[in-house]
Structure formats: C-alpha cells, structure tokens
Amino acid sequence: MKRILLFSIFSFFGFNLYSQAYTPLLDNLNEWHVTSCFSGCLTDVYYTNGDTIVDGKNYKILDGYHYISRTFLLREEVNNKKIFLNKVAPGHNEEFLLYDFSLNEGETFNMQNPYSPFPEDGGAFILDSIIERPLANGNEYRHFYFSPAPGNTISTENAVWIEGAGSLSIINAPGGNPDINGVGHLSCFFKDTEVFYANLDSITDCIPIHLGIERYPLNNVVISKGNNSGICVVSNAQNIKSLSVFNLSGKKLETIMNDGQNTLKIDLSSYQNGMYILLANGFGDTKKSFKVIK
C-alpha cells in the first residue's frame, strides 16, 4: 500500500532548476528594499514610477529613497544586457553605464557609482566568477562576483550583481559593497508585484510598499490524503493562485492553476516513491510549502 506522509513548513527556499535565458532587470513595475542595521535595522524603499523619453531613448523614472527629485532615470538594452543611469539636469544630461551582464569570467569592468555613497569612479574590477543560485521563485539566476583589479587604489571591497535585480547594494552603486552594517544590503526586490529576490536575515518578510498589492495569508491551507492514497487534497485553497510540485533536485514536475476554488487535488500516483515539495503561491506573493513523502 502506498502511503503519503505530510509535513508543513512555512518557508520555501529555491531549488536548483535549469538555466534560463537572460532575465531583464527592469519590468513594468519595480521596487527595491535596502536594509541597514546599526543600533537597529532600517529599510529604505525606492521604485520605478512612470516612463519618459530623453534624447529619443525610453527610460523608467526612479522615485523614493534619495531619488525623490525624479531626475534619476534607468534604461535597459535587453539585447546587449546593459543597464544605464541618466541623471537629468537643466541643460545637461549625463548617462552612466551601470551594468553589463554580457561579461564573462575573467573580464574587467570599470565600476561607476554615480550619486552614491561610493566613489563615482570606482575603478576597474575583475569578474571572478558567475554562479547560478536560486531566488524567491525557485529558478536559478546568475550571480556575478567582482573584486577590485590589481592596481585599483580607489575601491578595496568586493561587489555582487544578480541578473534580473542589479547590485546587492543600491541600484546606482554596481561597485558598492553590500554591507548590512554599512550603506546597506538589498533585502527585497519586486517585479510586477511579485517578489523576485528576498534576504530575510534581518527582516521578517518582503511586502511591497508602493505597489499597492493586497496580501492574502495562506495560514489556513492544509493538505490531507484523499480516499485514493495517491491523491493529496488541498483545503482552504481559495487564496492560492497556483500549486506546484517539485522533486528534491528542484525540478518542477507540474503546476496547477486555481481560479478561486476552495479545494484542489494533486494526483501523485504516477510519481516514484520519495519526497516531494508542494508550493502554494498566493496573492501578494505569499507562499506556503509542504513536504510530501510518498
């Protein structure tokens, strides 16, 4: 007789999935949270708020944090995998190349950190390694690890970029060292209302501030065994958008979409015996996951 044992867990850390094509940094809506801790922790929030055209090029307008002047503009050349910052001033615009995600390991990049606490010209950095690591949605994204090149007397600390998110420091500091006890460390990044990156070491949750997304908790969601021992029944599922099944290697086996039904069923009878992860995705990027042993 097949048996299914259920264990509820309240956090879900991504699994290794297959590599994917370049993920653009800028989506329609974008919101970054940067946390710094001294005697206590403080999270600063900035976001894109509207679009504009300057010199025939399309930009997104940064707002919040120290960008409230709305004169900081971002644009992305997706085909070239490059992101630029334009600082608009009366009679003068100055554009900086912030990121180049087409770089390969061993190549050198001149870091520019305009209008940030870091040196505006951070000097040359070497791309030491590119490592794929899972983010909040369970998919893997390339992490770029830089160190100051020999002879760089301007910058002495390392920098980290994430494809699809930018610097682990503030967005206009690609050469900034992400330090929770210094300028700060990226704690949350949202794309079109969904959390893309989350670091909960110093905060309790990632909730968008400016995107106006209502969150529906999944605390009442439970999974039980149906009459057929190969079927799992998900109850109190009305706030679930989708339910996905992963194996322990991180491969997504199937996803079931929900249109507001209170009960969902997942048939595991065709799967081999072993442990699986069921991940419930709710509105406002709430999540709840379950370990299932068949």
- pLDDT digit string, tens, across residues 192-201: 878 899 998 8
Overall average pLDDT of the 122-132 stretch: 97
Residue 184 in any domain: the answer is yes
Overall average pLDDT of the 284-294 stretch: 75
What's residue 103's pLDDT?
A: 97
φ, ψ dihedrals at 259, nearest 5°: -110, 35
User: Could you give the CA distance from residue 54 to residue 278 in angstroms, rounded to a whole number?
Assistant: 47
What's residue 97's pLDDT?
A: 98
What's residue 9's pLDDT?
A: 43
Same domain, 177 and 274: no
Residue 268 in any domain: the answer is yes
Q: Are 223 and 6 in contact (CB under 8 A)?
A: yes
Domain count, the chain: 2
φ, ψ dihedrals at 284, nearest 5°: 70, 20
At 195, is the secondary structure helix, strand, or coil?
strand
Residue 183 in any domain: the answer is yes
β 275-282/264-267 pair status: unpaired
Q: How many residues does the chain have?
A: 294
**pLDDT by residue (tens digit) across 130-173?**
999 999 888 899 999 999 999 999 999 999 999 999 999 999 99
Q: Are 143 and 162 in contact (CB under 8 A)?
A: yes
Same domain, 148 and 285: no
- For residue 214, pLDDT over 70 is answered with no
Same domain, 175 and 45: yes
Same domain, 94 and 166: yes
What's residue 8's pLDDT?
A: 45
Q: How confident is the model at residue 29 (pLDDT cuts 50, 70, 90)?
A: confident
**Residues 6 or more apart in contact with residue 159 via CB below 8 angstroms:** 111, 125, 146, 147, 167, 168, 169, 174, 175, 176, 177, 178
User: Could you give the CA distance from residue 76 to residue 58 in angstroms, rounded to a whole number?
Assistant: 9
**Residues 6 or more apart in contact with residue 183 via CB below 8 angstroms:** 36, 116, 117, 118, 169, 170, 173, 176, 177
Residue 270 in any domain: the answer is yes
Q: Are 17 and 134 in contact (CB under 8 A)?
A: yes
Burial of 26 from C-beta contacts in 10 A (0-12 / 13-18 / 19+): middle
What's residue 100's pLDDT?
A: 98
Same domain, 155 and 39: yes
What CATH number did the domain enclosing 249 receive? 2.60.40.3080
| Domain around 116 | 30-198
User: Could you give the CA distance from residue 12 to residue 291 in angstroms, rounded to a whole number?
Assistant: 10
Distance of CA 24 to the CA centre of its chain: 12
Same domain, 224 and 134: no
- For residue 16, pLDDT over 50 is answered with no
Distance (Å) of CA 66 to CA 2, 15, 20, 50, 111: 58, 35, 34, 17, 20
Residue 5 in any domain: the answer is no
pTM (two decimals): 0.66
